[in-house]
Chains A and B, each alone.
Chain A
């Protein structure tokens, strides 16, 4: 992790006003998107990409910035989902944004508890102990029916999804909920990274002994990192369950999901915020793209279905391997290289 750059590079490719204008245009485009994009795009591409990107930010704050590890991201997502469900169900007066925040805070407390081993152990041992969270919460939500309001199949589904009386259940509503929440949390994360806390975390990552020597409170900062990371995971989990899947159970947040978040961080780029969305887009889109490619090439006439599906899996794995060999710092680093190139164009950077 030491090979990553300390903070996002401040490219002065564009003057400040131009950059602001670009940001405004992009923001408007994102908000107006539901008017143009059809339901398929919103439901199965944009919403999952953004939500998984948010979960990626959570893990990246912990892994990329603080140098700690976690294999329990999905567990904290499930805490967020189940907390939000119970809050919305049992405290009907609580508005949706507040319910999301409280759900995130509950996940943060759990993250803090499961972050305690980080004070004593490191590396693979720490990773193994975060696995405990993964198995514990899957067990908890399967064995105590209270968490799913004694539903027959132990599934939870959004009891209500509205803000100020506006029903957010149609696809554009869910999309805007996800975008707004993510934008706010992205802004918060960017500020955390640039603040004293962020600098402390990066100092911890680069050398924790030196950090202790210069007076950084190592123990409390480590726990804070787990709490912040779990807060993000918790909110992302609630959005994943209600804005994306609609219905979920403890098994929607299994170990595979934790690995998926980990891959998003690795592919997107460690110690990068925007990279998480690139990583998420890669994970969500590549399998769909491969299916379309196989369809367009007319391969189904030549090979049988079972073979083609396995071929797609092989290609997906191969793409990840090649990508990480060519660019170990992920898609975010690639984007930076391209930006630097165009900033100097037609000269060479």
Chain B
């Protein structure tokens, strides 16, 4: 008998679940007249340690824009969250929930916050006409706006990153002509992300004559003794570390154990945060990394956020010591890019919330020149970019930074990647993709494929 009562309760619960498991797609709601900016989060799961400060930076910047600046030209930004724990399936559910707007606020752009989800949305977003933008680490061939009108891998791709690393090594060697015979070993996370630099480094080594050594590390990378022995045996001069998560501190520690000089290891953009060096301890001092998200609090905009958001106790961060860390600043930078895209769109379509088609237009005309960056108070924090319908990356600059043992210090100014060198190869890849999918590349800015 009790069993049956329990069952009835369970069925009632299931009906309830079915009943409001679904949010009304675009029901008139409390957020009419606001700009929807859905925030996919990973505050739980394996990547939560980088997710929490990153989301803190993003939410704090939006709060600053909303409360101190009164929104973008008076239009408030609404940022409902959707937790994915970095899983693609949950991410797709979030995408479906928000793609046509939410509670009366329309969607203009969508940020997946995960390379896997970014790839999974490539086709869906094109069919739905939703511009997807992921700063840092999109698919390199998606720069081609003729084939991918709704993909925006802004700021930097891994191919440019590889050329920046080679440029920096050349600078240290005394010029590009001195690269001949230099041995550069790339230690990469064995995944699509990690393998992405194999091809550009091959092209670069053919051009400059350095010796290109590629060594994979299986996920998650807790054991790297063999790989580092291999590096020692090959007598490598430099190591380009393309890690992710736990692989980074393990690499730094193992390098110290086999006696490889730490100041000749250059980390990838995802191998250069405080969480990658601190766990390695003292041996990490002197370690280098590519940086598009420079840490530090010494930027005008960060001081403003500190004054109005952190010090007033309104921050999304529980642990405010993360303020100014690499991932926090990454969040701020992403927020700046989104807000500037809204501003660009509003200049054309009027001071109101934008829809996805207008959002695409806005991203394709995003032009962050140095003087605009200065006005925002983000000089040195955000690299200048200019997006066009033909080029959806818009720039390719990064700095090289060094770990002092307690914090990251930039060693260089923005270094430009050699995008011209790769242009033809990547363009061909995009066109091949178009052929495989039966997409006709658009021939002018306004002609959109469907």
Contacts and interface: CB of A to CB of B under 8 A. Distances in A.
A43 B89 CA distance: 11
Contact of A153 (B17, B115, B123, B437): B115
A245 B88 contact: yes
B96 A44 contact: yes
A194 interface: no
Nearest to A154: B192
B436 A249 contact: no
13 contacts: A40-B23, A43-B96, A139-B218, A143-B190, A152-B140, A154-B195, A159-B437, A169-B127, A246-B120, A249-B116, A306-B43, A338-B8, A349-B4
Contacts of A48: 89
A199 interface: no
A202 to B, nearest CB: 24
Nearest to B81: A305
Interface of B: 1, 3-4, 6-8, 10-11, 14, 16-18, 20-23, 25, 41, 43-44, 52, 55, 81-83, 87-90, 92-93, 96-97, 115-116, 119-124, 127, 139-141, 190-193, 195-196, 218, 316, 318, 429, 436-437
A196 interface: no
Interface in A286-304: 286-289, 291-292, 296, 304
A228 to B, nearest CB: 26
A306 B318 contact: yes
B318 A251 contact: no
Contact of A40 (B1, B18, B22, B437): B22
A333 to B, nearest CB: 8
B97 to A, nearest CB: 6
Nearest to A340: B4
A5 B123 CA distance: 45
Contacts of B316: 304-305
Interface in A59-97: 89
Interface residues of A, number: 61
B7 A334 contact: yes
A341 interface: yes
Nearest to B115: A153
Nearest to B436: A159
A236 to B, nearest CB: 14
Contact of B52 (A247, A292, A306, A312): A306
Contacts of B116: 249, 251-252
Nearest to B11: A338
B268 to A, nearest CB: 15
Nearest to A310: B44
Given A289-B21, A292-B23, A40 B119 contact: no
Given A154-B192, A246-B123, A249-B116, A305 B41 contact: yes
Interface string A37-51: 011110111001000
A287 B140 CA distance: 34
A152 B88 contact: no
A159 B436 CA distance: 7
Contacts of A348: 1
A40 B25 contact: yes
B92 A245 contact: yes
B44 A341 contact: no
Interface string A153-182: 111011100000000011000000000000
Nearest to A323: B10
A306 B54 CA distance: 13
A326 B41 contact: no
Interface string A303-338: 011100110110000000001001100010011011
B361 to A, nearest CB: 24
A134 interface: no
A289 B140 contact: no
Given A41-B22, A159-B437, A288-B21, A153 B7 contact: no
Contacts of A291: 82-83
A289 B17 contact: yes
Contacts of A256: 87
Given A139-B218, A247-B123, 11 more contacts: A39-B25, A45-B21, A48-B89, A142-B191, A152-B139, A247-B120, A291-B83, A292-B23, A306-B44, A327-B6, A327-B10
A281 interface: yes
A247 B44 contact: no
B168 to A, nearest CB: 24
A89 B436 CA distance: 9
B121 to A, nearest CB: 8
Contact of B3 (A38, A152, A304, A337): A337
A39 B21 contact: no
A248 interface: yes
A119 interface: no
B105 to A, nearest CB: 15
Interface in A89-147: 89, 139, 142-143
Nearest to B6: A326
Contacts of B43: 305-306, 309-310
B21 A38 contact: no
Given A247-B122, A326-B6, A292 B89 contact: no
B10 A334 contact: yes
Contacts of A337: 3-4, 7
A292 B190 contact: no
A326 B13 CA distance: 15
Nearest to B48: A306
A245 B120 contact: yes
Contacts of B436: 89, 149, 159
